Amino acid sequence: MSWRIVVVSRRAKLDYKLNYLVVRGEETIRIHLSEISTLIVESTEVSLTAALLAELTKNRVKVIFCDERRNPSSELVGYYGSHDSSAKIRGQIRWSAEGKGRAWTAIVSEKIRKQRDLLAKFGKPEAARLTEYLGAIAYNDATNREGHAAKVYFNALFGKDFSRSLETPTNAALNYGYALMLSAVNREIVKSGFLTQLGIFHDNVFNPFNLGCDLVEPFRPLVDSWTLAKSPTQFEHEEKMEIVDLLNRQVVIDDQTHYLNHAIGTYCRSVLDAISREDASLIRFCQYEL
């Protein structure tokens, strides 16, 4: 089972040899591909061989590329994630409105529940308002309790002057963490043979990860919690590595303890199954400390 999250932050050449990722920099490091779950290429001074990219795809390693500011900008997504991907995609196209609606209702409820718990942890009185929203969620969130909760939630966490459009260390941390969580979710969707483009709620024609944006929602409060606790005055390499380490956080799913990086797979497969079978009770959410 893959478990390593490899981050390359300095000038290096990456290539492939005998099932190993070979990192040639100030020193040469070899890591067996079977151990790697995610490779983050943080520096634009890194070069890679096509042979390595092909093998990383075969081994279902999620590869994230960063821009000149060392922020995630793209990822490597294989064409074939499962032997029966064609059948899975046909089924995905036929997903019923009922199945999608039930799943989205459950996902939104879990997201608001975790947001409420985070506010309560930090002693924010607005937690009571989110409890009200949680009890008022309609099927498919027809009354947009998610949107109302988000406004109250972010104002309570970061102040009423906070805006997600501002270029601040806080937003840099949120964006970086959300991108990592989304990438982990996308990896599992593709591995299961489905398309990330076809979502259950998100349907932006310019978004290649609509389904990933749907499924990632319950994990956002984990990034929010780190950001609020740290209140970063800068967002550089050290802070980024702390956020990367969130994927190594131990969580509980199906009454078993797993690393978040692995538990995301169990969660995603349960959601995809729940939508196909129109039974939201099949969804297995991760329980984690905020």
Domain end call among 76, 100, 125: 76
Of 271, 258, 282, residue with least CA distance to 212: 271
Which residues lie closer than 8 Å to 190 by C-beta, 6 or more apart? 60, 77, 78, 81, 196
Q: Residues 69, 189: one domain? A: no
**Mean pLDDT, the chain, integer:** 95
- 189 and 99, same domain (yes or no): yes
| pLDDT tens track for 61-116 | 999 999 998 999 999 988 878 889 999 999 999 999 999 999 999 999 999 999 99
Q: According to the model, what pLDDT value does residue 250 have?
A: 96
pTM: predicted TM-score of the whole model, two decimal places: 0.91
Name the residue range of residue 13's domain: 4-76
The answer to whether 285 touches 253, Cβ cutoff 8 Å, is yes
CB 145 within 8 A of CB 137: yes
Average pLDDT over residues 33-57: 96
pLDDT of 79: 83
55 and 103 assigned to the same domain: no
Q: Which of residues 76, 103, 132 is at a domain's end?
A: 76
